[in-house]
Amino acid sequence: MAQELEFQNAYKYRINVCCSSGCVPFGALKVLKAFEDAVKEFGVEKECKVARTGCIGTCSVGPAVLVEPGDYLYQSVTPERVREIVRDHIVLGLPVKDMLYERNAYFKKQHRLVLRNAGKIDPSRIQDYINMGGYGGLLKCLTDTPQAVINELIASGLRGRGGAGFPTGQKWSLVARAQNSPKYIVANLDEGDPGVFANRTLAEADPHAIIEGMLIAAYAIGAEKGYIYIRSEYPLAIQTLQKAIAQAKAMTLLGESILETPFKFDLELRFGAGAFVAGEETAILASVEGKRAMPRPRPPYPANSGLWQKPTLIQNVETLANIPLIIQNGGAWFAKTGTPKCTGTKCFSLTGKVNNPGLIEVPMGITLREVVFDVGGGVPDGKKFKAVLVGGPSGGCLPDTLLDIPIDYDSLVKVGAIMGSGGIVVLDEDSCMVDTARFFTEFCVDESCGKCTPCRAGLARLKDVFGKITNGAGEMSDITTLEKSSSFIRDGSLCGLGQTAPNPVITTLRYFKDEYIQHIVEKRCDAGKCFKSRGEEEIE
Amino acid sequence: MIKDDKRRAMLEKVLKEHDYQESALLEILHRAQEIYGYLDKELLMDISGSLNLPPSHVYGVVTFYSFFKLKKSGEHVVTGCLGTACYVNEVEQILEAIEQEFDLKRGGSTADGKLSLLLTRCIGACAMAPNIVVDYEVIGKATKELVIQKIKQALGGVKAETS
């Protein structure tokens, strides 16, 4: 360990090149290579370390490069300009001003706990993680009783980050108390929401935080086997995790007698195949067992009868990444961040019509206005803000008047949105709310598993009505149909998908009813999204 | 024939690795699609026989998940991202332009089988929306003109760079 620290401290500068899925398509690997070549060319390779890291957070101006010390963040770096950075910044000590990311407000209101190491460590080196205090939580918990670990979790107030916000400590107690064995852990990395990339980014930037969280959970509940269920659309995250698992095994952090204690835990990846509903907790279990990802009624709850009818703990990877911090610093320390009922932070993928899109992490209780206008920098091109969609395709569209509500599980549900997996999409005046609700309804029609009639048939009915309204054949009675069908779907579906699928319809009807009436009565769409496309199709 | 070729031997190895366990069906389908490119009826019958599962079960699983393909795709593949951020940033206009320019429909291929236009729920490069993937190259902040030019390059035999 001391050797490793010495190795790291030998460098005066560290150039972190973001090589996550957001930056790689835009040439990050070429930039990395150019930096490696340039430090050699200028003969500074002994004092300047070039590292391949995960997401730095400024995904809209990739490839992003962070130079330490001093946290100089370069944006839109091209291989052509790499020499200039090395020459001026590293050799002469003069940062290249015109390439620096200047929007400091983007980071000012963020609070990085889960993403503590993102963009700072090389995710392919377990030593980097250990250097930042990684696996310290595991070491600490192994000297404690499982019950003490659970008590710490309860004290922290941590709630599940998968969307529903169930208290994590309570869930662990239930699985720990279950009599049957063996017990399993399933980490949910099936980020099926379009427009959300927080879990993927976490896995690409700091895979060991997820593994350590699973190990601590396994110790607390007495599980010996775990699965990470990951979307097959995330090749880089899969590779990163596979490598991390192999490294952890080599260091006896996984497998039999972990760190020479009797504790054993084995970990495998399982691949999803593109089904939004597979993120639901009973559906994910069916999928891990190799079946269609269809939810089943609860009870029995997975805590008692989950994977192969055995007690199973299902946890989102963001929840798991919080665990090592809580064990190391204590539950009381964690509870200081956020609000009393909703502690800690939340990662969001901030996208849409906003100046600074990217991956952000903010304390719970921050207002939507702060997220959209301070962190996000507001709406670009002088356009007017119209709505913000919180919670993915089954979230809610909220107007300007609701921007001052705090972000926490309960406040969002009160206004018709959900925390979901953490998608925040900003819409400006060019967006039509009727068309937006139609878009999400179509998504949910495709993704409904078909088990419950209200969800399967009801969503299809909503889609038909939207087709009618956006084609100019709407009648005022359609609004009643939308409202009634939405409540049937919400009340008559088994799982979270069906129960939340009508949210975009319900909220747009609640907050933007005028637009519906305009479409139906005046056959007019101010955003120019509706009626028009139908016309073009007919001409074709 | 599916039984004779080298690819069948690779599939057999995969089946063996998983000990012919029915719970490994998804993993096996993933690998089979990697090996063959797509999953046709004959291949699915073969897998269902090997795992001792009813063909209806295997077919049900394959059609449930959008990642599995039952049809062969074109020589070049353009994938449009339908994620929320891409929708908000007008990816629809680009898709329409591609359909018009190359005379094909989304989900299908051109008559000569050279080009397919597929859709995906989200590639996760949302901050760069709208995104279109031409073969392996992701085009962020895409415009109609740029995408059509890239597709023409790909069709013209200029190899798309894989960064």
Q: What is the pLDDT of residue A540?
A: 34
Q: What is the pLDDT of residue B125?
A: 82
Ranges of residues in chain B with a pLDDT under 70 are 1-4, 157-163
* Cβ atoms of A165 and A154 closer than 8 Å: no
- Please say whether the dihedral angle defined by the alpha carbons of residues A496, A447, B81 and B72, taken in this order, is positive or negative: positive
Interface ipTM above 0.95 = no
Chain A and chain B share a number of CB contacts under 8 A equal to 141
Distance from CA of B60 to the nearest CA of A (A): 7
| Per-residue CA distances from A82 to A15, A37, B74 (Å) | 11, 9, 38
CB nearest to B60's CB, from A28, A292, A533: A292
Domains of chain A: 2-103 (3.40.30.10), 133-336 (3.40.50.11540), 342-428 (3.10.20.600), 433-539 (1.20.1440.230)
Q: Would you state the structure tokens that stand for residue A496, as one six-digit string?
A: 């979270």
Cα A85 to chain centroid, rounded:
32
Neighbours of A343 (CB within 10 A): 23
pLDDT at A22 > cutoff 90: no
Q: Would you state the structure tokens that stand for residue A434, as one six-digit string?
A: 């009727």
Q: What is the pLDDT of residues A130-171, one digit of tens each?
A: 999 999 999 999 999 999 999 999 999 999 998 889 999 999
Chain B residues close to A64, C-beta within 8 Å: none
Q: What is the pLDDT of residues A441-456, one digit of tens each?
A: 999 999 999 999 999 9
Alpha helices in A314-394 (DSSP H): 317-329, 331-335, 368-369
Quick one: how many helices (H) and strands (E) in chain A?
23, 15
Contacts of A212 (CB under 8 A, 6+ apart): A134, A135, A137, A138, A323, A324
Q: What is the pLDDT of residues B61-104, one digit of tens each?
A: 999 999 999 988 899 999 999 888 899 999 999 999 999 999 99
Quick one: how many helices (H) and strands (E) in chain B?
7, 4
Reported for A275-278, long-range contacts at CB under 8 A and 24+ positions apart, including other chains, are A275/A192, A275/A447, A275/A449, A275/B64, A275/B65, A275/B66, A276/A192, A276/A193, A276/A393, A276/A443, A276/A447, A276/A497, A276/B121, A277/A192, A277/A447, A277/A448, A277/A449, A277/A495, A277/A497, A278/A190, A278/A192, A278/A229
pLDDT at A251 > cutoff 50: yes
Q: What is the pLDDT of residues A479-503, one digit of tens each?
A: 999 999 999 999 999 999 999 999 9
- Any idea which residue has 């370390």 for tokens? A49
Q: Indicate the angle between helix axes B55-64 and B25-36, nearest 10 degrees.
A: 70
What is the rounded distance in angstroms from the CA atom of residue B44 to the CA atom of residue A475?
Answer: 47
Q: What is the pLDDT of residue B2?
A: 55
Q: What is the pLDDT of residues A343-382, one digit of tens each?
A: 999 999 999 999 999 999 999 999 999 999 999 999 999 9
Q: What is the pLDDT of residue A6?
A: 73
- Any idea which residue has 């699985």 for tokens? A175
Q: What is the pLDDT of residue B162?
A: 43
CB nearest to B125's CB, from A21, A274, A431: A21
What is the rounded distance in angstroms from the CA atom of residue A188 to the CA atom of residue A442?
Answer: 25
Put simply, whether B135 touches A (Cβ < 8 Å) is no
CB nearest to A59's CB, from B84, B121, B127: B127
Domains of chain B: 6-64 (1.10.10), 76-155 (3.40.30.10)
Cα A148 to chain centroid, rounded:
29
pLDDT mean over A66-73: 92
* Omega cis (within 30) before A167: no
Q: What residues of chain B, 104 to 123, have a C-beta less than 8 Å from chain A?
A: 120-123
Chain B residues close to A275, C-beta within 8 Å: 64-66
Chain A residues close to B61, C-beta within 8 Å: 290-292
Question: With pLDDT > 90 as the criterion, what percentage of chain A qualifies?
Answer: 88
Put simply, whether A409 touches B (Cβ < 8 Å) is no
Q: What is the pLDDT of residues A263-309, one digit of tens each?
A: 999 999 999 998 999 999 999 999 999 999 999 999 999 999 999 99
What is the rounded distance in angstroms from the CA atom of residue A135 to the CA atom of residue A276?
Answer: 32
Distance from CA of A156 to the nearest CA of B (A): 31
Q: What is the pLDDT of residue A537?
A: 44
Distance from CA of B4 to the nearest CA of A (A): 27
pLDDT at A435 > cutoff 50: yes
- Any idea which residue has 């054949």 for tokens? A473
Q: What is the pLDDT of residues A253-266, one digit of tens each?
A: 999 999 999 999 99
- Best residue in A425, A429, A538 for a mutation probing chain B (most B CBs within 10 Å): A425
| Per-residue CA distances from A41 to A37, A78, A84 (Å) | 6, 17, 12
Q: What is the pLDDT of residues A178-211, one digit of tens each?
A: 999 999 999 999 988 888 899 999 999 999 999 9
Q: What is the pLDDT of residue A95?
A: 95
- Best residue in A233, A394, A538, A539 for a mutation probing chain B (most B CBs within 10 Å): A233
Chain B residues close to A417, C-beta within 8 Å: none
pLDDT mean over A522-529: 93
pLDDT at A536 > cutoff 50: no
Q: Would you state the structure tokens that stand for residue A25, as one six-digit string?
A: 């398509």
* Omega cis (within 30) before B130: yes
* Omega cis (within 30) before A297: no
